[in-house]
Amino acid sequence: MGFNKDFLWGGATAANQFEGAYNEDGRGLANVDIIPIGELRRPMMRGQINKTDFIEGYHYPAKEGIDFYHRYKEDIALIAEMGFKAFRLSIAWSRIFPKGDEEAPNEKGLQFYEDVFKECQKYGMEPIVTITHFDIPIHLVEAYGGWRNRKILGFYENHARALFTRYKGLVKYWITFNEINMLFDNPFMSAGIILTEEELEDDHKRRETLYQAAHHQLVASAIAVKTAREVDKEIKVGAMIAATTTYPDTPNPDDVWAAHLLERTGFFLVDVQVRGEYPGYAKKEFERNNFNLHITEEDLKLLKENTVDYLSFSYYLTLVKSADESRTDAKQGNVLTSHPNKYLEKTDWGWNIDPKGFRITLNRLYDRYNIPLFVVENGLGAYDTLDENGMVQDDYRIDFLAKHIEQMKLAVEVDGVDLLGYTTWGCIDLVSAGSGEMAKRYGFIYVDRDNDGNGTLERKKKKSFNWYKKVIESNGEDV
Ligand code: P53
């Protein structure tokens, strides 16, 4: 009963949101470095601003992050104290290939992650490694146009091969692209694409570009799977999506259909990564719109033969969709848009809180794909304050996570979902991807740093630290 003995409890991070040291040891500049906090952030993420360098007067939180680069030993020791079985992190591509198109990797970059993985190994922690978590070397953006260009495939392949080879025996679980479905909303952040005037104005043109870029990422992902199997039979390679369930606003079939269509756009790319071919609805969509896409027979063969071993996903919230386009109550929480759901409470950032939606989402993903799942992000972004004793009493976070873990347990125990593990997002406070804030905190460990970059970077355990330790110790029985 309950979770397997080897269930991978842990936490998750991403290079650009916590490493800092953006220009040390030969690291090249990346797209994510130059996305500032503030009003420019969203339009930049969306590829609406033609800039490939820092702009005077803006604050760039990724430059220093929370300085994991220099503090990784201390941080890994802290999470090991909670009993983590797994630690999800990502590789900063531009540490390994500073420009992206070099022949040989940067030894200092490779060495850094080797040190980190060995530190994990010391505590018996399995690293779960994302090859690209919203990052691409800026040179690949400037010289090639990011993922719109087919040449990127070869650079990604070199990068993946360098990683699999160097970390053979140290890393078993890899993820090819973080939240691959975000590409359509955030082409600059997800794919290093700056949209042209024409693409900004012409919906058809823009979609054509994004489908082509998505195809390149799909083929790159398949090549990574193939390469991994050549290098090391033990490796498991996973796909990753921002998962959610979209509820129809009413039982009106028009709403049900609208919700279905919206939800399917989220599944689209993973349908290919898991099943090995473009689904019927996508082929029809390409045909109907007469998109001029370069998809070769060789590509289709790669997709077919190199499907992923598992599907990982983030789960934060559910959405509500109505067919009525004239309604004005659809709110944008981060990048996802939803009508209100009167049955659910919201976070400080307006994301609805839906533990049961987590069970529903786990089931729908498993029903659809029938391969092992891995929850690699879930959590509550909240404002934390220190009390008079310098403690964060984050009972709201404990409550949020406890309810989600209970639903996850039902999905495993009652519904039979095959689940590899659960890593909470931002186990140590880090920079928010959506907003660039430090004030949106997810961690069990507090980091002294604010939105403007002030603070000592000192680490402190929150109340949730000991709670999560107990959850792991009891293998999810004691929540
Ligand atoms: P922040 C949108 C919707 C759901 C998850 O998000 C998302 C996004 C993109 O912002 O991203 C994932 O920091 C992502 C992480 C990110 C986390 O969710 O905006 O993989 O990098 O930090 C939480 O609160």
The terminus-to-terminus CA distance of the chain in angstroms comes to 16
Residues 43-77: pLDDT tens digits? 999 999 999 999 999 999 999 999 999 999 999 99
pLDDT at 329: 82
CA distance 351 to 183: 20
Asked whether 377 lines ligand 1 (CB < 6 A), one says yes
Residues 194-219: pLDDT tens digits? 999 999 999 999 999 999 999 999 99
Q: What is the dihedral of CA 340, 347, 243, 430, to 10 degrees?
A: 150
Question: Is 377 designated active site?
Answer: yes
CA distance 121 to 382: 31
The DSSP bridge partners found for residue 174 are 129, 237
Residue 240's domain comprises 8-473
Residues 439-448: pLDDT tens digits? 999 999 999 9
232 Cβ contact partners less than 8 Å away, ≥ 6 residues apart: 164, 168, 169
pLDDT at 336: 74
pLDDT at 1: 75
pLDDT at 326: 86
Of 399, 414, 417, 415, the residue nearest 467 (C-alpha): 399
333 pLDDT band, cuts 50/70/90, is: low
Mark out the alpha helices in 309-457 (DSSP H runs).
355-369, 395-413
Among 179, 246, 400, which is best to mutate for testing ligand 1, by the most ligand atoms less than 8 A from CB?
179
Residues 19-40: pLDDT tens digits? 999 999 999 999 999 999 999 9
Mean pLDDT of all residues in the chain?
97
Asked whether 242 lines ligand 1 (CB < 6 A), one says yes
CA distance 449 to 456: 7
Note whether residue 283 is domain-resident: yes
Tokens 């391969």 identify what position? 371
Among the listed residues 19, 208, 377, 437, the single catalytic one is 377
pLDDT at 334: 60
**DSSP per-residue codes, 320-349:** EE-S-TT----EEETTEEE---TT--B-TT
pLDDT greater than 90 at residue 335: no
CA distance 422 to 419: 8
> CATH no. for residue 386?
3.20.20.80
Residues 90-127: pLDDT tens digits? 999 999 999 999 999 999 999 999 999 999 999 999 99
Asked whether 313 lines ligand 1 (CB < 6 A), one says no
Of 100, 212, 101, 198, the residue nearest 148 (C-alpha): 212
253 Cβ contact partners less than 8 Å away, ≥ 6 residues apart: none
- How big is the chain, counted in residues? 479
The pairs formed by 284-290 with CB atoms below 8 angstroms and a separation of 24 or more are 286/211, 289/204, 289/207, 289/208
Q: What is the dihedral of CA 434, 435, 438, 440, to 10 degrees?
A: -70
Note whether residue 49 is domain-resident: yes
Note whether residue 304 is domain-resident: yes
Asked whether 314 lines ligand 1 (CB < 6 A), one says yes
pLDDT at 331: 74
Of 145, 140, 369, 433, the residue nearest 240 (C-alpha): 369
Asked whether 435 lines ligand 1 (CB < 6 A), one says yes
Is residue 92 within 8 Å of 112, Cβ to Cβ? no
Closest Cα to atom 11 of ligand 1: 433
Residues 237-260: pLDDT tens digits? 999 999 999 999 999 999 999 999
325 pLDDT band, cuts 50/70/90, is: confident
Closest Cα to atom 22 of ligand 1: 433
CA distance 320 to 330: 9
Note whether residue 292 is domain-resident: yes
Residues 395-410: pLDDT tens digits? 999 999 999 999 999 9
The domain total for the chain is 1
**CA-based radius of gyration for the chain:** 21
Residues 164-176: pLDDT tens digits? 999 999 999 999 9
pLDDT at 6: 97
Asked whether 312 lines ligand 1 (CB < 6 A), one says no
Residues 364-389: pLDDT tens digits? 999 999 999 999 999 999 999 999 99
Tell me: ipTM over 0.90.
Answer: yes
Give the Å distance between the CA of 407 and the centre of ligand 1.
21
pLDDT greater than 90 at residue 297: yes
Q: What single letter denotes the amino acid at residue 233?
A: K
CA distance 131 to 174: 7
Closest Cα to atom 15 of ligand 1: 433
Give the Å distance between the CA of 378 and the centre of ligand 1.
10
Note whether residue 45 is domain-resident: yes
Give the Å distance between the CA of 260 and the centre of ligand 1.
23
Asked whether 361 lines ligand 1 (CB < 6 A), one says no
Note whether residue 458 is domain-resident: yes
Give the Å distance between the CA of 13 and the centre of ligand 1.
11
Query: What number is the average pLDDT over the span 178-190?
Result: 97
- The 10 Å CB-count burial string (b at 16+, else e) for 213-228 is bbbbbbbbbbbbbbbb
Q: Could you count the other beta carbons within 10 Å of the beta carbon of residue 278?
A: 20
Closest Cα to atom 13 of ligand 1: 432
pLDDT at 330: 81
Note whether residue 396 is domain-resident: yes
pLDDT at 328: 82
Asked whether 178 lines ligand 1 (CB < 6 A), one says yes
Give the Å distance between the CA of 231 and the centre of ligand 1.
31
Asked whether 132 lines ligand 1 (CB < 6 A), one says no
pLDDT at 337: 82
Ligand 1: atom nearest CA of 433 is 13
Note whether residue 361 is domain-resident: yes
Is residue 135 within 8 Å of 95, Cβ to Cβ? no
Asked whether 381 lines ligand 1 (CB < 6 A), one says yes
Closest Cα to atom 4 of ligand 1: 242
Give the Å distance between the CA of 335 and the centre of ligand 1.
9
Give the Å distance between the CA of 356 and the centre of ligand 1.
20
Percent of the chain with pLDDT over 70: 99
Of 71, 168, 180, 178, the residue nearest 127 (C-alpha): 168
pLDDT greater than 80 at residue 281: yes
